[in-house]
């Protein structure tokens, strides 16, 4: 009786598997771009939920006498209070800043004249002539629509955030339902913890270093006498969450307005030098020590992710570019066919999922 040959299932070739991964990335990018109005509020809500969850666990560790059920409401109250205070600071200082812009007209006329003379114009235009020649009608509608879109997005973000926080208790049951096998469930939980710890560590480092930069910038701006120093410091703090571009804005914007505000160029030169020094020290000395190997993202990938997510979702995409890249790297590393993408995204060729959980310590941060 002839023996039956074992059935061999053909395995896809490496080329075809990599081609499928590339096509999947392109298709995912197209979907994210086309449905950006839906995914952007959801991504911001998840981002805020991670912040609130990390703050709740930090409160629980700092106040062990507090009931565990009270930590999350306390974190929500603290977060709402901080956002409310930030909104008041921006609203108050933005109004003052807008009023003072009208007092800068003579200085602006002088700067326009100097610029015109530098390029060889005999009769330089004045600020009033430039404003008169500028037709704002095509842009008013865009500004109004942007403000309306921002308000509606904020409402959707809060709605998504409320549902995400309310559904936290059912997350474990969903994991059990999705992964009945204990080994698979343990691997999925470990991947989720790596994503959570990586995002929390990034937020912790950016918040602490952003506060350092903002406080140092406020001190030098106050010493120089720049108007609305608190407002500028707050904008610098927000810009610190955007890689590369945030640092450029934080260094360049205050000196440019110092040129308009002061009759001499020396305050602008001092601001430029000191702000650049602060950014350099914090960004190249303090931040790497705090961050350690927790993110493990290649610097070139950080720049590319900034451009990629910025092209998809604008400023929101730039703000979330690094956390989203961390999530993508950990998720891709779970699959054999896509692990090569995670290796390319990592800084040392060792994606987080290839290490044991907890191998990368989180120095000083809430994520442990």
Q: What is the pLDDT of residue 116?
A: 61
Tokens at 15, concatenated: 């080329």
Range list of H helices, 35-67:
36-62
Q: What is the pLDDT of residue 152?
A: 62
How does DSSP classify residue 356?
A: P
Tokens at 3, concatenated: 């023996």
Q: What is the pLDDT of residue 273?
A: 92
Q: Are 52 and 72 in contact (CB under 8 A)?
A: yes
Whole-angstrom distance, CA of residue 229 vs CA of residue 223? 10
Tokens at 95, concatenated: 């109004």
Identify which of 365, 363, 342, 368 has the alpha carbon closest to the alpha carbon of residue 354: 342
In which residue ranges of the chain is pLDDT below 70? 1-14, 87, 90-153, 291-295, 351-368
Q: What is the pLDDT of residue 19?
A: 76
Whole-angstrom distance, CA of residue 179 vs CA of residue 264? 67
Strand-pair partners of 297: 346
Whole-angstrom distance, CA of residue 275 vs CA of residue 265? 16
Q: Are 72 and 56 in contact (CB under 8 A)?
A: yes
Distance set, CA 208 to CA 5, 76, 201, 346, 353 (Å): 64, 20, 11, 24, 26
**pTM given for the model:** 0.70
Q: What is the pLDDT of residue 219?
A: 92
Whole-angstrom distance, CA of residue 327 vs CA of residue 306? 14
Q: What is the dihedral of CA 309, 310, 315, 317, to 10 degrees?
A: 0
Strand-pair partners of 346: 297
Q: What is the pLDDT of residue 361?
A: 39
Q: Are 334 and 195 in contact (CB under 8 A)?
A: no
* Residue matched to tokens 């054999």: 336
Q: Are 224 and 267 in contact (CB under 8 A)?
A: yes
Q: What is the pLDDT of residue 123?
A: 55
Q: Are 217 and 233 in contact (CB under 8 A)?
A: yes
* Residue matched to tokens 């003379």: 117
Whole-angstrom distance, CA of residue 163 vs CA of residue 212? 34
Task: Please give the angle made by the CA atoms of 287, 367 and 77, to the nearest 5 degrees.
Answer: 105
Helix (H, G, I), strand (E, B) or coil at 346: strand
């Amino acid at each position: 009786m002839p023996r039956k040959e074992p059935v061999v299932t053909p395995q896809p070739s490496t080329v075809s598997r990599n081609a499928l991964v590339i096509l999947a990335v392109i298709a995912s990018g197209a979907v994210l771009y086309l449905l950006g109005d839906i995914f952007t509020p959801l991504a911001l809500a998840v981002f805020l939920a991670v912040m609130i969850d990390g703050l709740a666990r930090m409160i629980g560790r700092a106040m062990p006498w507090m009931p565990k059920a009270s930590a999350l409401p306390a974190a929500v109250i603290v977060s709402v209070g901080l956002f409310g205070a930030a909104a008041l600071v921006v609203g108050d200082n933005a109004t003052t800043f807008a009023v003072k812009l009208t007092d800068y007209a003579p200085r602006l006329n002088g700067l326009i004249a100097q610029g015109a003379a530098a390029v060889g114009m005999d009769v330089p235009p004045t600020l009033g002539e430039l404003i008169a020649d500028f037709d704002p009608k095509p842009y008013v509608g865009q500004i109004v629509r942007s403000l309306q879109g921002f308000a509606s997005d904020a409402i959707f973000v809060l709605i998504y955030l409320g549902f995400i926080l309310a559904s936290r208790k059912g997350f474990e049951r969903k994991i059990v339902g999705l992964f009945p096998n204990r080994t698979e469930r343990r691997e999925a939980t470990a991947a989720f913890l790596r994503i959570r710890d990586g995002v929390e560590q990034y937020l912790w480092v950016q918040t602490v270093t952003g506060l350092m930069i903002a406080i140092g910038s406020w001190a030098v701006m106050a010493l120089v006498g720049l108007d609305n120093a608190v407002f500028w410091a707050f904008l610098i703090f927000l810009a610190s969450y955007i890689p590369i571009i945030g640092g450029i804005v934080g260094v360049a914007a205050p000196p440019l307005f110092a040129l308009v505000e002061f009759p001499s160029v020396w305050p602008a030169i001092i601001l430029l030098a000191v702000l650049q020094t602060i950014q350099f020290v914090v960004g190249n000395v303090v931040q790497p020590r705090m961050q350690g190997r927790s993110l493990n993202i290649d610097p070139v990938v950080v720049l590319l992710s900034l451009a990629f997510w910025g092209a998809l979702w604008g400023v929101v995409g730039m703000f979330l570019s690094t956390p989203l890249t961390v999530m993508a790297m950990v998720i891709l590393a779970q699959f054999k066919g896509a692990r090569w993408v995670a290796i390319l995204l990592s800084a040392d060729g060792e994606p987080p999922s290839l290490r044991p959980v907890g191998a990368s310590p989180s120095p000083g941060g809430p994520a442990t």
